[in-house]
Each structure stands twice: as C-alpha cells, then as structure tokens.
Amino acid sequence: MPYYIGDVIRQSEELVARTPEKFGESGITISLNTTVESVDYDKGLLKTAAGETIGYDHLVIATGTNAIRPDIPGIDRDGVFVLKNLTDGIAVKKWVEDNHCRRAVVVGAGFVAMELAEAFRTRDMDTTVVYRGTRPIKRWDKALTDIVTEELEKNGVIFVTGTSPRAVEESGDGLRLVTDNGDFDADVIVFGLGVKPETSIARDIGLEMGTSGAIKVNFSQRTSREEIFAVGDCAEAFHRIRREWVHIPLGDTANKQGRIVGCIIGGAPRVFQGVVGAQSFKFFGLEIAATGIDEAEAVACGYHPESHVTKGTFRTPSMQGRARMSIKLTADRATGRLLGAQAVSNIGAVGRINILSACLWSEMTLDQIGYLDFAYSPPFGGAWDIVHRAAQGLQRKL
Amino acid sequence: MPYYIGDVIRQSEELVARTPEKFGESGITISLNTTVESVDYDKGLLKTAAGETIGYDHLVIATGTNAIRPDIPGIDRDGVFVLKNLTDGIAVKKWVEDNHCRRAVVVGAGFVAMELAEAFRTRDMDTTVVYRGTRPIKRWDKALTDIVTEELEKNGVIFVTGTSPRAVEESGDGLRLVTDNGDFDADVIVFGLGVKPETSIARDIGLEMGTSGAIKVNFSQRTSREEIFAVGDCAEAFHRIRREWVHIPLGDTANKQGRIVGCIIGGAPRVFQGVVGAQSFKFFGLEIAATGIDEAEAVACGYHPESHVTKGTFRTPSMQGRARMSIKLTADRATGRLLGAQAVSNIGAVGRINILSACLWSEMTLDQIGYLDFAYSPPFGGAWDIVHRAAQGLQRKL
C-alpha cells in the first residue's frame, strides 16, 4: 500500500482536504506535516519525528531543493523571503498585501528573479533588481539578453549590476538592503539566488551523491541502494548532450522521473532516458527559452563549439501580425551536430526550442535541421522557418 | 551564366519589372512568357517556340504541376476555374469582383477546396462544397474531420457529400453545376481536385518517370540524365517513413530541392534527404496539420499500425485562454516507432506536428517521444505536453 510522507507535499494539504475521497479510494495513506527522523535500511523501516514506525519495500526520496539563502546579517527579518515553493509564494503575496508594500528589491537575475520582478511590477510596485553580475539570465547569449534588458527598462524595472548584498537592516517603517554598491530601501526583499538539492535524509542513509551534489541515481532512478529511489529536484539526471549526470532541477523532469519509478515499482520495466536541458520562462511580453548546452559547457565536454545568432520575423499562429525572434544555435565543428539553442521572441520561442530539443535528443546535425520537413502553410510561417535559416546560417560558419 | 526560361515563373513578371536591378546585377538572364519547344540533349541545346537557341551545361526542370480539370461538358465556360497558381487566384478574384458574384460552388474537399470555401465565405458569398466522398480532408481521421465538418457548418458552408459533377451549364445570368445528385446554381465554380505533375518536357527528352508519374530523381535531384535536374512539384522526393519515392507537391519541399541543386551546380556537394510528409492548412478558426503516414499507407509498407486519438486542452502561448486540440498518432507495433501524426486545434496544431516531424525524421519511438525534454514553463503549457500524453496513450495500446 503506497504511503506518502513528509514535508515535500505540504503544499498538497489543501488539495487532500478538499478531495479526500480521491486519495482514500486509491488506498494511499498520506502523512502531511510529518518529518522523517531516521531510516533503518537494513530492516526497511522509517521512524518519524512523532515516533511512528513505517515499514517499506521500496523507498522513494523526493525531497526537492532548498532555496539558497545568503548568510548575511538580517536575512531572517520579517519581509525578507526566498521563493522556492507555493508556500513561499503565498507568504510573499500575503506580506505584500498585509503591509501595502510599494517598494520591492529582488536579489539575483536568474529566471525566478526575473519572474519575481514581473510579478511586483504587475502590482505597480517600484521594483529594483540587484545582481552581482552584469547581464540578466546569463546563460543566454548577450545578443539575446540585450532584448531582456530592454524589456526590463521598458517595464520600469531598475536593474542594478555588479552589486552584492551585505546585510538587511531596518529603515524607517521598512527594510534596507545594504550592498557593496549603495543601499536600497524596500518594503519587501526576495532572494532569487538559485537552489541546492535537499539531500539530508539521503546522506543520513549513506547514499552515494553525484558530483553535482544531488543524489546519484541510475537510469531506473535507483540510488546506490537498490530498493531506494530518488526522483525530482533532489536527484541527478543524465544529460544526453554532455553525456554525464547533472543537476538541473525542473518540474517536468521531476514528473517524468516520478512516473518512471511508479512504473518500475508497479512491475513495468522503464528507464528514464535523460534530459537535453530544455527550459523556458515568460518575462513580460517575451518568451525566453533554451535547450542543450552553451559554448563553455561544450568546451568542457571536449566539443568544438561554433555559434551563430539569427534574427527574424515571422507570422504568428493567430495571424495577428508579425513577431520578432532571435535564435542562437551552437554546434560542434567536428561533427556538425547541434549542441544547444537559445531563443527570445514575443511569441514562438518555446515552440522552436521544443523542435530543437527533439533534434538534440536524436543527435541531429545542422544539415539535417536546415532541411527538416515542417508543416508549412503561409498563414503559419514561411517556406523556410527560422529554424531552417538558423541551422543553415551556422552551418556556413563551420 | 544562369538563364531562367519559361512559363513557370510567369508569376514573377511583375516582380522582375519592379526590381530589374536585382536580376541584372546577379547576371541572370530571364525569359518570361517563353515556351521551350524542344531539347537537344546531345548538344545541350534548348529551342524556344520563338526560334531562339540556348545552350546549357546543366538543365533544371521545375515545371510544377497542373490542376486537374475534369473532362465534363461546359468545363471551359467563363466563371469556371481551377486554382493552382497566383494567376489562377487573381483570375478567380477578378471574376468574383467584376460579376458581383454571390453564389460559389467548390468541387472537392481537399485542403485547397477548404481554403477556397473559407475565402468565399469571408466575402459573405453563399458557398456550397460538392464532394464525391463523405468527409472533408479524408487523409485525416474521422475523429478529426468531425471537427472540420463542425467548422464548415458553424461558418455556414453547405457541404454536399456523395456527389460528382457531370456538366456545367448556363442558368439564367449564372452557371449551374449538374451532378449525379441534383443541380447547383452558382456565379462562380472552382474545381479543387488536386494536381498532376507537368512532365511534358521531361517526357519529350525521354527522362525516366517515377511510379508516381512525377519525374524520377536521385538524392542530388538528378534525373536519369546526369546533367538534367528536376525540382519541385514536377519531381519525386524520398519519403523517409515509406522509404520510397513519392509525389507530394508542396512549396517548402520545392524550395529545399531548388536550393540543393543550386549548391550542387555551384560546386558544393549536397543531398536532399527527403520528406516525412508534413503539411498544414488554416481553415477558419482551425489549424489543421499532419505528418508521416496513415494506417493504409503503413499497411502497404508492411508496418503494423496502431493508432490513438488524444484530446486535450492547453494554454495558448499568449495566455489568452485555453485551446482545444485533438491529436492522432500512428505507430508500428513491431518496433514502437512513430509512423504518423495528425492534429486539429484552434491554435498549436502546427507547432506540435513540427515537433513530431522532427521525431519522425530521426525514427523516434513512442517511449522516447513520451518523455521528450521540452522547455516547460506554466505560462506555455503543462509539465506533460499533449505530445507526451498522446505518445503514452498510444504506447499503452501497443
């Protein structure tokens, strides 16, 4: 009989309360707000903090990640947040509403930080993004992040670069973020500095960790103990382009790994065939997406990367006009294989990156991608799609 | 020095007239409204109808197709059209406007016929589609064409099935389509019955024809004479799923084949790697797209097809709401390989079919497609895309 335990589904409490029959019928026992204190893997027993003992044949660890919280004075003040899960999101929203916040400071410039900046601006709050680097979403090429920087400006987000936080202090009736580059007053401060895998239970058990710091698994999501699986953000996944195990915590990967383990425990053989690194986010009017690896990763793997940025306009699916898109491809000079792609557009970037993810999955070369057979029709695009043009443009440089 | 000749680019006349410098600079000689009378391939000479003689090292035949015009009495009456090229389209439009047409009859129910019906309805004309079969766009599964039939009804197009034309007669100040199932009065009648490759020059030369009736070519687009190439709608293309040479005349394929031949003549080795059968059209509020092969084609090839239709709703890229989509996948039971896909939706069908075309290109199996790594983000879709769900749904039936 399946048994779910722990912190990780605390967010589901309301869902379970609203639809108990759904969970009752399925024969699943759910223990929310329950912490695992220890695991006796020789006997196949869990002990909870409340002293309960639960036996298992298969144990699935899905403990996710924790948001990185910098170790600076004042980090625990009221009004200072990280954003990792739904609970965090609700807490930020409640604070903003209860305190009628007018000024927000976001620390970091990854995609969670960007989404936060949009959320605050959508509430008409003065929003400042403080970042130690120089460009937002630095994984993307400068030619593409310039478009993101424009979008930040266009939407009135103040973007402060080369600036690291030192402390959070009180200031009048609000807060002050003290940095190495001046102070920033705010009513709410959120740190969007990334995440670390939550592996404490796994380490207690003595499971092997990957070089990424996440739990090492094989293609069946089994850890170094056969009867213990790990899935989702706490576990590694095989990167099909890098050909190594990586930690890229994303919701769709977690869904897939969970399903694979469900099949295996249920008796159906399955393997999780890995990821290619596809990801996306929405930022005001932009679709921003990427897949595969960038030049630095390619060099580290021993590939010989060459890249090219293609700009184009194309008709939108709804024929409401023409959209701009910039797309960057990276390929290996030795083999002509696509290694990665990045795209920014008003509309269509995610769709193109999904096509290119399918191409990466099966190790397609630029001369194949440049002549792929798409479902062409004038209302939906040109006879040559921007994907074709990008592949041919890069191929000319190889 | 490149030399373009003939009927096939008559549509470009206006373009050339408007931008002569573009053509002059490139050193291209263009002879419009010129018919090739004979080809002396031993000497590498063309003779035109005007008596001019032109020598060649490489000859590229790009004579396209002709629309099928049924051999019935009255087919040549004014107001009766086929629709193959821009000239045809302009002629239909001029007739409709000059004669203030209020009633249109379209014969056929392929995608050109459907596009015609939409065009006439958009002008608020009474529009009747007369078709000998029972379902529009019969290549698509009934579950999907039912949606198209609904769209026909919703938009006030009268769809008459099981009906074949017998003659076109005069009727008052208009026309009358006489059929085996009653008569239909109209001010304009357009036949959308498909196309046949225009191969008369190729046959005169004695070039080998494919079993499809189009010009036989190899991966370099060379015909049975090495110095003569054929490209576009008059030529065959290799179908990567059927593994045979087919005649699927489409504009994007023509573009690609032309480019391949340009590279080869220019000294760069290239091969055209074939098609997977991707196609799409817009019909009122629907995106309709398909790729690969259907069950009948699969059986003919010796595959063991199994199919499944998945229905879903998904968020639109612009977040303007949720769209419905129906997607049908066909796979081979022996290997688990995807063989074909069809989709109909308000928005998103073409994008999904393009992804599946990339999957077909590289012979992916359902268990790969069901776990493909896409650029997931809540504004753009679910953690499981309808492509994942469709692949998993079909896999459960294999």
pLDDT, mean of residues B247-253: 96
Position B296 pLDDT exceeds 70 = yes
B165, B57 Cβ separation under 8 angstroms: no
Position B167 pLDDT exceeds 50 = yes
Tokens describing residue B204: 């005169």
CA distance B393 to chain A (A): 14
CA distance B304 to chain A (A): 23
Q: Lowest-pLDDT range, A8-22, A152-166, B256-270?
A: A8-22
Distance CA(A281)–CA(A139), nearest Å, equals 13
Distance CA(B297)–CA(A181), nearest Å, equals 68
Report pLDDT for B202.
Answer: 96
Helix, strand or coil for residue A279?
strand
Average per-residue pLDDT for chain B: 92
Which residue from A minimizes the CA distance to B359? A358
Facing residue for A289 by CB, picked from B240, B371, B375: B375
Tokens describing residue B281: 């059209």
Comparing B239 with A9, the larger pLDDT belongs to B239
Position B317 pLDDT exceeds 60 = no
Q: Quick: pLDDT tens for B350-375.
A: 999 999 999 999 999 999 999 999 99
Position B219 pLDDT exceeds 50 = yes
B280-395 matches B3-64+197-265 in CATH topology: no
* Residues of A with Cβ-Cβ distance to B348 under 8 angstroms: 317
**Residue B74 vs residues B108, B169, B175, B191: alpha-carbon distances, Å:** 18, 6, 10, 13
Q: Where are the beta strands (DSSP E) in B126-173?
A: 126-130, 158-160, 165-171
Tokens describing residue A75: 């980090």
- For residue B105, the number of C-alpha atoms closer than 13 Å in the C-beta half-sphere is 22
What are the residue ranges of helices labelled H in A81-128? 86-98, 111-122
Report pLDDT for B9.
Answer: 45
CA distance A176 to chain B (A): 32
* Residues of A with Cβ-Cβ distance to B385 under 8 angstroms: 354
List all residues 6 or more positions away from A351 whose beta carbon is below 8 Å from its beta carbon.
B317, B351, B354, B355
CA distance A144 to chain B (A): 17
* Residues of B with Cβ-Cβ distance to A348 under 8 angstroms: 317
Position A316 pLDDT exceeds 60 = no
Q: Quick: pLDDT tens for A131-180.
A: 999 999 999 999 999 999 999 999 999 999 999 999 999 998 899 999 99
Distance CA(A54)–CA(A46), nearest Å, equals 5
Q: Quick: pLDDT tens for A356-384.
A: 999 999 999 999 999 999 999 988 888 99
Q: Quick: pLDDT tens for B22-62.
A: 555 666 777 777 889 999 999 999 999 889 999 999 999 99
B216 phi/psi in degrees, rounded to 5: -75, 130
* Residues of B with Cβ-Cβ distance to A276 under 8 angstroms: 373
* Residues of B with Cβ-Cβ distance to A364 under 8 angstroms: 358, 361-362
Whether B384 and A351 lie within 8 Å, measured CB to CB = no
Q: What is the reported pTM?
A: 0.93
Position B3 pLDDT exceeds 70 = no
Q: Quick: pLDDT tens for A200-251.
A: 999 999 999 999 999 999 999 999 999 999 999 999 999 999 999 999 999 9
Report pLDDT for B319.
Answer: 47
Distance CA(B299)–CA(B293), nearest Å, equals 10
Write down the residue that tokens 């099935």 correspond to. B161
Write down the residue that tokens 């400006």 correspond to. A153
A39, A59 Cβ separation under 8 angstroms: yes
**Residue A274 vs residues A224, A246, A257, A301, B356: alpha-carbon distances, Å:** 18, 10, 9, 17, 19
The whole-angstrom distance between residue A374's C-alpha and the CA centroid of its chain comes to 29
Distance CA(A366)–CA(A271), nearest Å, equals 29
Q: Quick: pLDDT tens for B95-119.
A: 999 999 999 999 999 999 999 999 9
**Residue A349 vs residues A109, B288, B310, B361, B365: alpha-carbon distances, Å:** 20, 21, 25, 21, 25
Crossing angle, helix B386-395 and helix B349-361, to 10 degrees?
50
Q: Quick: pLDDT tens for A62-105.
A: 999 999 999 999 999 999 999 998 889 999 999 999 999 999 99
Neighbours of B151 (CB within 10 A): 19
Q: Which CATH class is domain A3-63+196-265?
A: alpha beta
**Residues pairing with A82 in the sheet:** A191
Whether A351 and B353 lie within 8 Å, measured CB to CB = no
Testing the interface with B: which of A371, A380, A384, A396 to mutate, by most B Cβ within 10 A? Answer: A371
A216, A236 Cβ separation under 8 angstroms: yes
CA distance B369 to chain A (A): 8
Neighbours of A35 (CB within 10 A): 12
Testing the interface with A: which of B371, B380, B388 to mutate, by most A Cβ within 10 A? Answer: B371
* Residues of B with Cβ-Cβ distance to A279 under 8 angstroms: 375-377
Q: How many CB pairs under 8 A join A and B?
A: 170
Whether A372 and B383 lie within 8 Å, measured CB to CB = no
Distance CA(B338)–CA(B333), nearest Å, equals 9
Facing residue for A350 by CB, picked from B274, B278, B380: B380
Report pLDDT for B315.
Answer: 65
pLDDT, mean of residues B392-396: 97
Facing residue for B273 by CB, picked from A273, A351, A368: A368
**Residues pairing with A337 in the sheet:** A365
Q: Quick: pLDDT tens for A263-305.
A: 999 999 999 999 999 999 999 999 999 999 999 999 999 999 9
Whether B252 and A374 lie within 8 Å, measured CB to CB = yes
Average per-residue pLDDT for chain A: 92
Report pLDDT for A106.
Answer: 98
Whether B280 and A377 lie within 8 Å, measured CB to CB = yes
Element (H, E) at B201: helix B200-205
Position A11 pLDDT exceeds 90 = no
- DSSP string for B38-94: EEETTTTEEEETTS-EEE-SSEEE---EEE-----TTTTSTTEEE--SHHHHHHHHH
Position A46 pLDDT exceeds 60 = yes
* Residues of A with Cβ-Cβ distance to B367 under 8 angstroms: 270, 273
Distance CA(A344)–CA(A176), nearest Å, equals 34
Whether B380 and A287 lie within 8 Å, measured CB to CB = yes
List all residues 6 or more positions away from B68 whose beta carbon is below 8 Å from its beta carbon.
B82, B191, B193, B194, B195, B196
CATH code assigned to B3-64+197-265: 3.50.50.60
* Surface-to-core class of residue B78, CB atoms within 10 Å of its CB (0-12 exposed, 13-18 middle, 19+ buried): exposed
Distance CA(B9)–CA(A316), nearest Å, equals 29
The amino acid that residue B2 corresponds to is P
* Residues of A with Cβ-Cβ distance to B278 under 8 angstroms: 373-376
CATH 3.40.50.12280 fits A286-395, yes or no: no
The whole-angstrom distance between residue B159's C-alpha and the CA centroid of its chain comes to 22
Facing residue for B374 by CB, picked from A319, A357, A368: A357
Report pLDDT for B275.
Answer: 98
Q: Which CATH class is domain B280-395?
A: alpha beta
Facing residue for A376 by CB, picked from B251, B319, B371: B251
- DSSP string for B230-288: E-GGGB-EEETTTTEEE----HHHHHHHHHHHHHHHTT-------B---EEEEETTEEE
Strands A36-40 and B65-67, by their bridges, are unpaired
Domain segments of chain B: what residues? 3-64+197-265, 67-195, 280-395
Tokens describing residue A175: 């807060």
Testing the interface with A: which of B86, B362, B373 to mutate, by most A Cβ within 10 A? Answer: B373
Which residue from B minimizes the CA distance to A372? B358
Whether B358 and A355 lie within 8 Å, measured CB to CB = yes
Whether A282 and B347 lie within 8 Å, measured CB to CB = no
Give the CATH fold of the B67-195 domain.
FAD/NAD(P)-binding domain (3.50.50)
* Residues of B with Cβ-Cβ distance to A274 under 8 angstroms: 373
A64, A8 Cβ separation under 8 angstroms: yes
* Residues of A with Cβ-Cβ distance to B281 under 8 angstroms: 377, 379
Neighbours of A391 (CB within 10 A): 29
Crossing angle, helix A386-395 and helix A349-361, to 10 degrees?
50
Distance CA(A283)–CA(A285), nearest Å, equals 6
Comparing A382 with B213, the larger pLDDT belongs to B213
